[in-house]
């Protein structure tokens, strides 16, 4: 059985240094002027400010649609696989037998069984950008420069609370499991939420009194002093700085990343494993004002080619993982609901593509970009439904084909970002946020 290592209790949150050390890189990963501009853009578009948020749960490697959310019990064993279907709380919808907790609260979930993943490959690029034009390349310019949905949220919306990062990633590998800003720019990359050591504490020798003393602060930051002297409109920037200081001095950012603030019972409910602790942290971040969180339990964890590979095939590899996923996802949904956060928080559960309808000779399934399933909950969507379907083998889309752009348009609509808006590429070309797709009507 594959096990998942638990996260450190404090997730390496430091006590001695703060991001002033990075030239006022501010909690969000933005400089103060960049943060201010992002807010100004959002205000101009009339997007200030609900508490809409997104948690994207990345199943790295590509989960099998047939062995999770699109069972095919009438097919021969080499297609239907080793699992039996079970009924759910919604008549007519069935799931894999190893997802009983999701089945019991199916009214909270919407399943998309007809997502076209043909533009995707074995990276997080396409479906974290939710853009068929964003693909892995051999030139080093990954994703064609298109940004991830989280980076779009960081630029066009910003955080839900001043001073908090708008976009946080929770993954051991920020290269393999997380896609960032592309050509949108470094300012909109995600904060690495598992390595926040030193970002939420003051530097050694800098007291609260000195921090609040502008003269002493400027002695610490020569580059910032130059910006004060040369940047028009610094008064507004200075207010933003003070706002960020207030949050740090109040300890809110540091507390948000500190799982020891949670009760032992809550931590047990989520699970003391990688996925459970990341989902609990994601809830804490949403509660604190982060807009977009992308997380992965482990790189390649859902890549079940067969028993000869690291993560095993379906029986040996996937079987012990499904109860972990089932418990963690349903606990997250219940917890968000109990705290009044579910209607504002859209939860997406997906990988990069599906798996082959015919099992391999080593009891696994190969990559299958022709179709994949994904799970949605929260964000005000209509649960208790299946959107789209596959053919009798589960390998091709039968009806209601949807693409990555439809997912992006749905996410941006939830966040109050106009899907038809655009960003400017380095060459100066206006580039649409969604080139092809529209919000999925059945969800709203």
Query: For 85-109, what is each residue's pLDDT tens digit?
Result: 999 999 999 999 999 999 999 999 9
Separation between Cα atoms, residue 395 and residue 273, nearest integer Å: 32
Q: For the chain, percent helix, then strand, then coil, each to nearest 5? A: 35, 15, 50
In this prediction, the residues of the chain whose per-residue pLDDT falls under 50 are: 1-5, 8-36, 38-48, 206, 208, 211-212, 222, 224-225, 228, 232-240, 242-243, 246-247
Determine the pLDDT at residue 436.
92
SS3 state at 404: helix
Determine the pLDDT at residue 249.
54
The answer to whether 266 and 144 are in contact (CB under 8 A) is no
Determine the pLDDT at residue 97.
98
| pTM recorded for the entire structure | 0.84
Fold of 51-193+265-443: Alkaline Phosphatase, subunit A (3.40.720)
Determine the pLDDT at residue 198.
59
Separation between Cα atoms, residue 235 and residue 241, nearest integer Å: 10
Determine the pLDDT at residue 248.
53
The answer to whether 133 and 115 are in contact (CB under 8 A) is no
Using CA atoms of 206, 212, 215, 217 in order, give the dihedral in degrees to the nearest 10. Answer: 40
**Each residue of 377-412: pLDDT tens digit?**
999 999 999 999 999 999 999 999 999 999 999 999
Determine the pLDDT at residue 392.
97
What is the residue extent of each domain of the chain? Answer: 51-193+265-443
* CA distances for 387 relative to 111, 112, 117, 436, angstroms: 6, 5, 16, 19
Q: Which residues contact 226 (CB under 8 A, 6 or more apart)?
A: none
Determine the pLDDT at residue 211.
45
Which residue, 5, 11, 6, is CA-closest to 285?
A: 11
**Each residue of 212-244: pLDDT tens digit?**
455 555 555 545 445 545 554 444 444 445 445
């Amino acid at each position: 059985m594959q096990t998942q290592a638990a996260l450190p209790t404090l997730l390496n949150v430091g006590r001695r240094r703060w991001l002033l050390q990075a030239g006022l890189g501010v909690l969000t990963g933005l400089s103060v002027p960049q943060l201010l501009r992002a807010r100004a853009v959002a205000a101009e578009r009339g997007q200030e400010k609900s508490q809409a948020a997104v948690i994207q749960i990345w199943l790295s490697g590509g989960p099998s649609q047939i062995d999770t959310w699109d069972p095919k019990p009438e097919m021969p064993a080499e297609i239907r696989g080793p699992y039996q279907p079970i009924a759910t709380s919604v008549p007519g919808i069935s799931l894999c037998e190893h997802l009983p907790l999701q089945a019991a609260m199916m009214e909270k979930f919407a399943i998309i069984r007809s997502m076209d993943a043909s533009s995707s490959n074995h990276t997080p690029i396409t479906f974290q950008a939710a853009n068929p034009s964003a693909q892995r390349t051999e030139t080093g310019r990954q994703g064609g420069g298109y940004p991830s949905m989280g980076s779009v949220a960081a630029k066009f919306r910003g955080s839900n609370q001043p001073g908090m990062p708008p976009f946080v990633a929770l993954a051991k590998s920020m290269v393999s499991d997380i896609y960032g800003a592309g050509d949108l720019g470094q300012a909109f990359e995600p904060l690495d939420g598992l390595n926040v050591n030193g970002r939420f504490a003051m530097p050694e020798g800098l007291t609260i009194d000195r921090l609040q003393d502008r003269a002493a602060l400027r002695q610490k930051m020569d580059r910032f002093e130059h910006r004060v002297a040369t940047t028009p409109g610094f008064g507004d920037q200075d207010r933003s700085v003070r706002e960020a200081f207030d949050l740090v001095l109040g300890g809110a950012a540091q507390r948000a990343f500190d799982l020891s603030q949670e009760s032992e019972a809550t931590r047990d409910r989520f699970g003391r494993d990688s996925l459970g602790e990341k989902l609990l942290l994601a809830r804490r971040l949403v509660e604190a004002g982060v807009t977009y969180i992308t997380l992965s339990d482990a790189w390649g964890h859902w890549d079940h080619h067969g028993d000869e590979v690291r993560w095993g095939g379906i029986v040996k590899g996937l079987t012990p993982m499904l109860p972990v996923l089932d418990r963690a996802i349903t606990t997250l949904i219940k917890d968000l609901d109990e705290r009044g956060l579910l209607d504002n928080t859209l939860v997406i559960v997906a990988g990069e593509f599906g798996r082959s309808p015919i099992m391999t000779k080593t009891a696994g399934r190969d990559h299958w970009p022709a179709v994949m399933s994904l799970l949605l909950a929260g964000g005000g969507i209509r649960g208790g439904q299946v959107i789209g379907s596959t053919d009798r083998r589960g390998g091709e889309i039968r009806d209601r084909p949807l693409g990555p752009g439809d997912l992006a348009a749905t996410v941006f609509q939830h966040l109050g970002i106009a899907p038809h808006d655009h960003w400017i590429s380095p060459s100066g070309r206006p580039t649409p946020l969604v080139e092809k797709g529209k919000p999925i009507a059945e969800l709203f």
